[in-house]
C-alpha cells in the first residue's frame, strides 16, 4: 500500500482552467520526492489534493490506500502536512509560539504534549529565539521556518513543501536541506517538495516527477531525469552546473565519474585528478 497515490487525477478549476490532466503519482514511506516543472505546471494544485484541500474533478486520491472522505479528513490532515508557498497564508497567531502550537492544539492533544511538540519543532527549525515575536513582523525566511515548524508540530507522516527554499538566504537553504534530509531516517517521514532549483533536487530527492501543463511528463531517479536533457529543456528546466560541467568534461575525453551533488562531485574530481597525476 502506498502512503499517497493519485490515479488519473484531473482537476479543472471554476472558470475552466485544466490544472491537472490524468496525473498518476505515488509516494512511499521514507521517500524524498521532488516535483519539478515550470510556473503553472500544476505542482501546487497536485499538492492540495494530498490532504483534501481540493477535490478531484475526476480520478482518485488515495491516502494509505483509502479515498479521502468527510469522515477521515481530520485523520488525513494529521497524516499529510502541507507547507504552502506563501507563509502568510499559514501564520496568523499573535506570537510564534502560539502559532506553532495551533496545529497540535487543534488535534486535541493535551497541554504538556503540545508544549513538548512546540519546543521540539522550534528547536528543529532553529527558531527558539523567535518564540515571542509577532509572526507578521518576521522576515520572509523567518516566516517560512515558522510555517514549517507549525506543520511539523502536528507530526505528520508525510511532509509536503511547496517551494520550501523560496525566500531563504544561502545558509537558510543549507539548513533546510540538512533538516529535510534527516526526516526520513530519523523520523520515518516521507517528504514531497516542489522546486525550481534543480541543484536542490540532487541534494534532497530520491525520486523526481516532472510536470508540464498539468501532466506528468517524466518520472524517475535523479540520475534518470538529469540524463534526459531534452525533457528538461522542453520544460524550461536547466541541468544544474555540476552535472553539466562533468558532462562537458566527459564529452571532451576526460575520464570522470558523473556526479549530481557537491560531495559526489568533489570525490569525482579528486579521483579524476589523482588518476591524472
Ligand atoms: N484558484 C484557482 N483558480 C483558477 N485557476 C487556478 C487556481 N489556482 C491555480 N490555477 C491555475 O492552475 C494552473 C496550475 O497552477 P499551480 O499553482 O498548480 O501551478 P504550479 O506548478 O504550482 O506553479 P508555480 O511554479 O508558479 O507555483 C495554472 O494555470 C494556474 O493559473
The C-alpha atoms of residue 244 and residue 232 are separated, in whole angstroms, by 12
pLDDT tens, residue by residue, 171-181: 888 888 998 99
Q: What integer pLDDT is reported at residue 72 of this predicted model?
A: 95
Q: Does 252 lie in the same domain as 173?
A: no
Query: Residue with C-alpha cell 507578521?
Result: 136
The answer to which of 52-61, 79-88, 157-166, 266-275 has the lowest mean pLDDT is: 266-275
How many domains in the chain? 2
Question: Whose CA is closest to atom 18 on ligand 1?
Answer: 42
Whether 277 has a pLDDT exceeding 70, the answer reads no
pLDDT tens, residue by residue, 230-242: 898 889 888 888 9
* Residue 275 pLDDT class (50, 70, 90 cuts): low
Structural domain that includes position 190: 29-47+69-227
Beta-strand (E) ranges in the chain?
4-12, 18-27, 32-36, 58-63, 66-67, 80-83, 158-162, 190-194, 207-212, 215-221
Q: Does 41 lie in the same domain as 129?
A: yes
Q: Does 149 lie in the same domain as 80?
A: yes
* Binding site membership of 17 for ligand 1 (Cβ less than 6 Å): yes
pLDDT tens, residue by residue, 57-80: 999 999 999 999 999 999 999 999
Q: What integer pLDDT is reported at residue 238 of this predicted model?
A: 83
Q: What CATH number did the domain enclosing 134 receive? A: 3.40.50.300
Question: Whose CA is closest to atom 2 on ligand 1?
Answer: 13
Q: Does 43 lie in the same domain as 178?
A: yes
Q: What integer pLDDT is reported at residue 276 of this predicted model?
A: 57
Instruction: Find the distance separating the first CA and the last CA of the chain, reported in whole Å.
Output: 52
Beta-strand (E) ranges in 105-261?
158-162, 190-194, 207-212, 215-221
Atom of ligand 1 nearest to the CA of 85: 27
Q: DSSP letter string over 101-113?
A: HHHHHHTT--HHH
Amino acid at each position: 500500500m502506498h502512503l499517497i497515490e493519485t490515479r488519473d487525477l484531473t482537476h479543472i478549476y471554476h472558470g475552466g482552467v485544466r490544472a491537472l490532466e490524468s496525473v498518476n503519482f505515488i509516494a512511499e514511506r521514507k521517500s524524498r520526492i521532488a516535483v519539478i516543472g515550470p510556473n503553472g505546471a500544476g505542482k501546487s494544485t497536485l499538492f492540495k489534493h494530498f490532504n483534501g484541500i481540493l477535490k478531484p474533478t475526476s480520478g482518485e486520491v488515495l491516502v494509505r490506500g483509502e479515498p479521502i472522505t468527510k469522515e477521515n479528513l481530520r485523520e488525513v490532515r494529521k497524516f499529510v502536512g502541507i507547507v504552502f508557498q506563501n507563509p502568510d497564508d499559514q501564520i496568523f497567531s499573535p506570537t510564534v509560539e502560539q502559532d506553532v502550537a495551533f496545529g497540535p492544539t487543534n488535534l486535541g492533544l493535551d497541554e504538556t504534549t503540545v508544549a513538548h511538540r512546540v519546543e521540539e519543532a522550534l528547536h528543529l527549525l532553529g527558531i527558539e529565539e523567535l518564540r515571542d515575536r509577532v509572526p507578521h513582523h518576521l522576515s520572509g525566511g523567518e516566516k517560512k521556518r515558522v510555517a514549517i515548524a507549525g506543520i511539523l508540530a502536528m507530526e505528520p507522516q508525510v511532509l509536503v513543501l511547496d517551494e520550501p527554499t523560496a525566500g531563504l538566504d544561502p545558509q537558510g537553504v543549507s539548513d533546510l536541506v540538512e533538516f529535510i534530509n534527516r526526516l526520513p531516517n530519523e523520523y520515518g517521514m516521507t517528504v514531497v517538495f516542489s522546486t525550481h532549483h534543480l541543484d536542490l533536487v540532487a541534494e534532497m530527492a530520491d525520486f523526481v516527477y516532472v510536470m508540464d501543463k498539468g501532466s506528468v511528463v517524466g518520472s524517475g531517479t535523479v540520475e534518470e531525469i538529469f540524463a534526459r536533457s531534452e525533457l528538461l529543456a522542453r520544460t524550461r528546466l536547466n541541468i544544474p552546473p555540476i552535472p553539466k560541467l562533468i558532462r562537458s568534461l566527459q564529452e571532451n575525453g576526460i575520464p570522470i565519474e558523473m556526479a549530481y551533488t557537491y560531495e559526489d562531485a568533489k570525490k569525482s574530481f579528486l579521483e579524476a585528478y589523482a588518476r591524472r597525476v
